[in-house]
Amino acid sequence: MRYLPLTANDRRAMLAKIGAPDIDALFRDVPKEAVVPLSAFDLSETKGEMEVERILAKLASRNMAAGAGPFFCGAGAYKHHVPSAVDHLIQRSEFLTSYTPYQPEISQGTLQVLFEFQTQVALLTGMEVANASLYDGSTGTAEAVLMAQRLTRRSKAILSGGLHPHYAETVETVAGLSGQVHRSPVTPGKAEDIAALIDADTACVVVQSPDVFGLIRDLKPIAEAAHAKGALLIAVVTEVVSLGLLESPGAQGADIVACEGQSIGNGLNFGGPYVGLFAAREKFLRQMPGRLCGETVDAAGKRGFVLTLSTREQHIRREKATSNICTNSGLCALAFSIHLSLLGEEGLTRLARINHAKAAALAERLSKLKGVELVTPSFFNEFTLKLSKPAAGVVDALAAKHVLGGVPASRLMPHEASARDLLIVAATETNIDEDFASFEQALGEVLA
Amino acid sequence: MSMNNQGRPSQATMTQDNELPTISGDRGLDLEARLIFELGRDGVTGVDFPDVKVDDSRLHGLRRKAAIGLPGLSEPEVIRHYVRLSRQNYAIDAGLYPLGSCTMKHNPRLNEKMARLPGFGDLHPLAPSVATQGALALIQELMRWLTTLTGMPAVAMSPKAGAHGELCGLLAIRAAVQARGEHRNRILVPESAHGTNPATAAFAGFVVDEVPAKPDGRVDADALKAKLGPDVAAIMLTNPNTCGLFEGEIIGIAKAVHEAGAYFYCDGANFNAIAGRVRPGDLGIDAMHINLHKTFSTPHGGGGPGAGPVVLSERLKDFAPLPLLVADGEGFKLIEDRAELPAGAKPFGRMCAFHGQMGMFVRALSYMLSHGRDGVRQASEDAVLSANYILASLKDIMSAPFGDGPCMHEALFDDTFLEGTEITTLDFAKAMIDEGYHPMTMYFPLVVHGAMLIEPTESESKESLDRFAAVLRGLAEDAKAGRKERFEGAPHYAPRRRLDETAAARKPILRWKPSALPEAA
């Protein structure tokens, strides 16, 4: 086996040094009845690289990759171009094959990356502090709700109907254990009056912008209403590129921001791994979940970085920790950070404008088709169409024409009658005019 | 010889000025990296995009007014920055990384290549199922490997890391208890457990009750059984445990737990010691997370991403979270909605958006197919053999609290051998850095004083293990001989000396701020 360096001779010599007659002797504490022969496992034997490549490439070929044709799916995961330098750098051994930086003297690379990442996230979201990443946007949203419950000592979380349903279900699963989670009705293309739902028991309101239909939400009045009642505003962003063009959640009064960072530096990966960006007001720092990296000096007076405030964390506080999280999304955070460094202020703002321009052009074009109506008056790079037919069937029919034409809202909210005919469509810098033309033609044919 | 020094051969002379500070702050190949925010400037970018004008008509009046504050750099500058940073990291590719419990084994590059196949890496999670059959088939195949290796009937794939898997398992247990109409709010956790265990139990709304360890490093089974009662929902036990020992009474413990109406959660962080030899299902376990980034070698990436699928027993499988993967006549399908549940399914909820860490699934399956069942078993045996070899090589000079019998994949030492030397476990570990090694896990498990937990893994050659043992022996000898200079203030040869963690926590600086500019409004 090519990954195992020990030879049969080595093994014999090592057993002799140990003073064990055979390998079984080392497993002597295992109850006899629990030891099974290899034949108990109905699994294949060792394979060489070529064989494994063949098997997996065959499976991969049965999927329709986003880059294989006209592609317009979004709803929480977006197809963007990732510069070649990003993937090259994250595959450097020193980043790829290192552990959580518990030994700062020999982990300054990872630690400085995390410090820069935290700064980038804070700047983008308009918040004062950010952590070193969580698993993804959805789990980050659940952590934000728990954090708000701790901070306010109140139990109720109010979720906007525009929050991605997977995020809402994740919040319900975790935060519903100790508190109440109230989901506001779905209002496609409109902002609900969520401020009216805030009462004295409310720990937080959770509002996504752009929302799951693509609609841009004005967070300011919600923040004001929440604060007036002693509640917190949690802003959720699933398309982080939007922050290159839109007012940051921090500037609109958000107290905690949970954001999916996949769009920058990370591929679609069929849903994971992604990277959760998590930022908050500085005064809430001690209740933040996850790892934090801080600046300090070494014994020789040189600037250096360490994991800090770990008294919040599970390995120190055990059952009193702010969260049970241990592993985060280090390598995805690195990819995010490298891509954002490449983009810089100018690259990101240009990228964001291109995304919006592409989406605006596509929305204009598609909404002229018979049986198509634009539902979202405002949007960033994703909008929702109301079709003359159920959207799920339309998406399948489009796929048969090799167009991945968006996400049917019914996939995310199957019980929402109003969602049946809604199609959520995203356009990014990766789309070209030819894609638009193919989509327009295919959709026209399917709806005819 | 290159052109540049042709005819001018250098001499290997040594002068006394090797501690001379350099002008640049760099030292030969030890290159410093400034913060990226200190490097960039306005108007530069590493990605070329046209400058497209957009009007505000669809932006709801919320166009960004203020600049973000990101620095601008060209591609070569960005690459140089991250390459310089990377060189300040230790890595398993560079040397032995004996972090007990963390399992730093070789990361095959084939797995990276496979995860980047466009059919996996460039696949949208909500693409219609006709477009994702290969991906769903891959998940199904990985599920088959996981359930077969563990001898369990079902597996929940969506948890994103070990601790997330623990939460998934406990939420399934909570749902199962509720479904029986019972109220059980206590979880028994051995004091040697990973910190995530009590944290997860509390996170899932349970009260944590600690169970002591016996002098031989195993959980006190009698004390555990005495604590069982009608309010106990589950026990959380790591096996092999965090002392690197197999819990030999596990089958009896499982029986008692089940008789008391409770569930048995196993922390699977150490499954890599027994995979291919022992099936957790045969031990009476009801739920166990599998750290794909440990046992199946998806890279740790400086702290993630991981993946923590949870195998479930017959008693718990109906409570697995959404989405569920099912096969029908037409192919594979994800069940994301309660209205479409297969018979008997009562999912407790959803762990995250979409369906889990697909990128890690591809890598793990690539690892499994490469190893095969024989390779998986051999890897476990080699991991155990290597740990015992380290134990046998060092127990005469370092103190092994449970060194009388064999260990599993980790060799545990304590600081008894440093008594009277004024050298601590921390000093000893930092001196290892000067020797070119990453320190072992220290001060964990908590049940041993000054613990040093060494996990060499199956990825080391005998020569590498011999060299490592010789270095630790040398350090132990120096410590006992009172040569404190090797330990005090170590490391001496790392990119940084010891860092002031106290100052970092007292006055946290968690981000760069422009010094010349006032605070952003």
| Shortest CA gap B5–chain A (Å) | 31
**Hey, is the C-beta of A447 within 8 angstroms of any chain B C-beta?**
no
Do the chains contact at B384 and A26, CB–CB below 8 Å?
Answer: yes
Return the number of other C-beta atoms located less than 10 Å from residue A393's C-beta.
13
| CA dist list (Å): B351 to A132, B82, B157, B285 | 21, 33, 10, 22
Q: Which helix (H) or strand (E) holds A60?
A: helix A49-61
Return the number of other C-beta atoms located less than 10 Å from residue A358's C-beta.
23
pLDDT of residue B197: 92
Read off the pLDDT of residues A73-102 as tens digits, 9 standing for 90 and up.
Answer: 999 999 999 999 999 999 999 999 999 999
Angle between helices A108-125 and A330-366 (to 10 degrees): 30
- Dihedral angle computed from the Cα positions of residues A26, A30, A31 and A36, in that order, rounded to the nearest 10 degrees: -90
Q: For residue B14, name the pLDDT band (cuts at 50, 70, 90).
A: low
Read off the pLDDT of residues B407-445 as tens digits, 9 standing for 90 and up.
Answer: 999 999 999 999 999 999 999 999 999 999 999 999 999
pLDDT of residue B8: 73
Read off the pLDDT of residues B241-300 as tens digits, 9 standing for 90 and up.
Answer: 999 999 999 999 999 999 999 999 999 999 999 999 999 999 999 999 999 999 999 999
CB A298 within 8 A of CB B497: yes
Q: Which residues of B touch A119 (CB under 8 A)?
A: 37, 511-512
pLDDT of residue B520: 45
Q: For residue B75, name the pLDDT band (cuts at 50, 70, 90).
A: very high
d(CA A439, CA A233): 38
Q: Closest chain A residue to B378 measured between Cα atoms?
A: A4
* Intra-chain end-to-end CA distance of chain A, in Å: 58
**Phi then psi dihedrals of residue B111, to 5 deg:** -65, -35
Average pLDDT over residues B37-60: 95
The DSSP bridge pattern shows strands A232-237 and A202-208 to be parallel
Q: Which residues of A touch B340 (CB under 8 A)?
A: 414
Q: Which residue has the tokens 């994301």?
A: B336
**Hey, is the C-beta of A272 within 8 angstroms of any chain B C-beta?**
yes
Q: Is B416 helix (H, G, I), strand (E, B) or coil?
A: helix
d(CA B383, CA A6): 10
pLDDT of residue A126: 98
- Dihedral angle computed from the Cα positions of residues B160, A288, A321 and B235, in that order, rounded to the nearest 10 degrees: -30
According to DSSP, residue B63 is labeled B
Mutation target among B22, B36, B236 for the A interface, most CBs of A within 10 A? B36
All structural domains of chain A: 67-82+346-447 (3.90.1150.10), 84-339 (3.40.640.10)
Q: Is A433 helix (H, G, I), strand (E, B) or coil?
A: helix
A336 alpha-carbon distance from chain centroid: 11
pLDDT of residue A8: 98
Do the chains contact at B162 and A327, CB–CB below 8 Å?
Answer: yes
According to DSSP, residue B322 is labeled B
Q: Which segments within A21-95 are labelled E, that is strand?
A: none
For residue B513, which amino acid is it? K
Average of per-residue pLDDT values in chain B: 94
**Hey, is the C-beta of A97 within 8 angstroms of any chain B C-beta?**
yes
d(CA B41, CA B44): 6
Q: For residue B386, name the pLDDT band (cuts at 50, 70, 90).
A: very high
Q: Which residues of B touch A176 (CB under 8 A)?
A: 349
In sequence order, what are the residues at sequence separation of 6 or more whose Cβ sits closer than 8 angstroms to the Cβ of residue A229? A198, A199, A200, A202
Angle between helices A165-175 and A137-152 (to 10 degrees): 40
Q: Which residue has the tokens 């049946």?
A: A420
Q: Which residues pair with B324 in a beta bridge?
A: B335
d(CA B75, CA B46): 4
pLDDT of residue B426: 97
**Hey, is the C-beta of A6 within 8 angstroms of any chain B C-beta?**
yes
**Hey, is the C-beta of B76 within 8 angstroms of any chain A C-beta?**
no
Written as six digits, the tokens of B517 are 């500019």
d(CA A35, CA A40): 10
**For B331, left (φ over 0), alpha (ψ -120 to 50), or beta?**
left
Do the chains contact at A325 and B250, CB–CB below 8 Å?
Answer: no
Q: Which residue has the tokens 């100790």?
A: A178
B17 pLDDT more than 70: no
| Shortest CA gap B11–chain A (Å) | 31
Read off the pLDDT of residues A413-448 as tens digits, 9 standing for 90 and up.
Answer: 999 999 999 999 999 999 999 999 999 999 999 999
Average pLDDT over residues A250-279: 98
Do the chains contact at A411 and B385, CB–CB below 8 Å?
Answer: no
pLDDT of residue B265: 97
Do the chains contact at B117 and A56, CB–CB below 8 Å?
Answer: yes
Average pLDDT over residues B233-240: 96
Q: Is A151 helix (H, G, I), strand (E, B) or coil?
A: helix
Mutation target among A10, A81, A98 for the B interface, most CBs of B within 10 A? A98
For B97-112, b where at least 16 C-beta lie within 10 A, e where not — what string? bbbbbbbbbbbbebbb
Q: For residue B4, name the pLDDT band (cuts at 50, 70, 90).
A: low
Q: What is the DSSP track for A223-249?
A: HHHHHHTT-EEEEEES-GGGGGTBPPT
What is the CATH code for B372-493? 3.90.1150.10
pLDDT of residue B137: 98
Average pLDDT over residues A306-317: 85
Mutation target among A3, A89, A117, A354 for the B interface, most CBs of B within 10 A? A3
d(CA A222, CA A209): 12
Q: Is B471 helix (H, G, I), strand (E, B) or coil?
A: helix
CB B200 within 8 A of CB A324: yes
Query: What does pTM read for this prediction?
Result: 0.97
Task: Please name the member of A31, A47, A354 whose beta carbon is closest to the beta carbon of B251.
Answer: A31
A145 pLDDT more than 50: yes
B442 alpha-carbon distance from chain centroid: 15
In sequence order, what are the residues at sequence separation of 6 or more whose Cβ sits closer than 8 angstroms to the Cβ of residue B481? none
Q: Closest chain A residue to B73 measured between Cα atoms?
A: A342
Q: Which residue has the tokens 């400037």?
A: B41
B214 pLDDT more than 60: yes
According to DSSP, residue B519 is labeled P
A122 pLDDT more than 80: yes
Q: Which residue has the tokens 């030994």?
A: A103
Do the chains contact at A56 and B138, CB–CB below 8 Å?
Answer: yes
Domain ranges of chain B: 110-366, 372-493
Q: Which helix (H) or strand (E) holds A260?
A: strand A256-260
Q: Which residues of A touch B166 (CB under 8 A)?
A: 324
**Hey, is the C-beta of B514 within 8 angstroms of any chain A C-beta?**
no
- B61 burial (CB, 10 Å; 0-12 / 13-18 / 19+) is exposed
Q: What angle do CA B314, B317, B322 make, to 5 degrees?
A: 170
Do the chains contact at B91 and A36, CB–CB below 8 Å?
Answer: no
Q: Which residues of B touch A51 (CB under 8 A)?
A: 369
For residue B305, which amino acid is it? P
Q: Which residue has the tokens 């008294």?
A: A311
For residue A171, which amino acid is it? V
Chain A contacts in chain B segment 380-419 (CB below 8 A): 381-382, 384-386, 388-389, 391-393, 405-406, 408
**Hey, is the C-beta of A343 within 8 angstroms of any chain B C-beta?**
yes
- The larger pLDDT score, comparing residue A232 to residue A325, is at A232
Counted across chains A and B, CB pairs separated by less than 8 A come out at 719
Average pLDDT over residues A140-147: 97
Closest alpha carbon to B74 in A91, A344, A263: A344
pLDDT of residue B18: 59
Written as six digits, the tokens of B100 are 């007990």
Do the chains contact at A407 and B126, CB–CB below 8 Å?
Answer: yes
Average pLDDT over residues A49-69: 97
Return the number of other C-beta atoms located less than 10 Å from residue A48's C-beta.
11
Do the chains contact at A94 and B87, CB–CB below 8 Å?
Answer: yes
Q: Which residues of A touch B364 (CB under 8 A)?
A: none
Q: Which helix (H) or strand (E) holds B239?
A: none
Closest alpha carbon to A252 in A286, A225, A212: A225
pLDDT of residue B1: 45
In sequence order, what are the residues at sequence separation of 6 or more whose Cβ sits closer than 8 angstroms to the Cβ of residue A194? A158, A160, A184, A205, A207, A222
**For B301, left (φ over 0), alpha (ψ -120 to 50), or beta?**
left
CB A239 within 8 A of CB A382: yes
**For B7, left (φ over 0), alpha (ψ -120 to 50), or beta?**
left
Written as six digits, the tokens of B304 are 């993630």
Q: Which residues pair with A157 in a beta bridge?
A: A181, A204
**Hey, is the C-beta of B41 within 8 angstroms of any chain A C-beta?**
no
**Hey, is the C-beta of A11 within 8 angstroms of any chain B C-beta?**
yes
* Intra-chain end-to-end CA distance of chain B, in Å: 59
The DSSP bridge pattern shows strands B186-190 and B232-238 to be parallel
Q: Which residues pair with A426 in a beta bridge?
A: A382
**For B112, left (φ over 0), alpha (ψ -120 to 50), or beta?**
alpha
In sequence order, what are the residues at sequence separation of 6 or more whose Cβ sits closer than 8 angstroms to the Cβ of residue A66? A73, A79, A268, A404, A430, B122, B123, B124, B127
Average pLDDT over residues A161-175: 97
Do the chains contact at A96 and B119, CB–CB below 8 Å?
Answer: no
CB B265 within 8 A of CB B75: no
| Share in percent of chain B as helix, strand, coil (round to 5) | 35, 10, 50
pLDDT of residue B521: 38
What is the CATH code for B110-366? 3.40.640.10
pLDDT of residue B29: 93
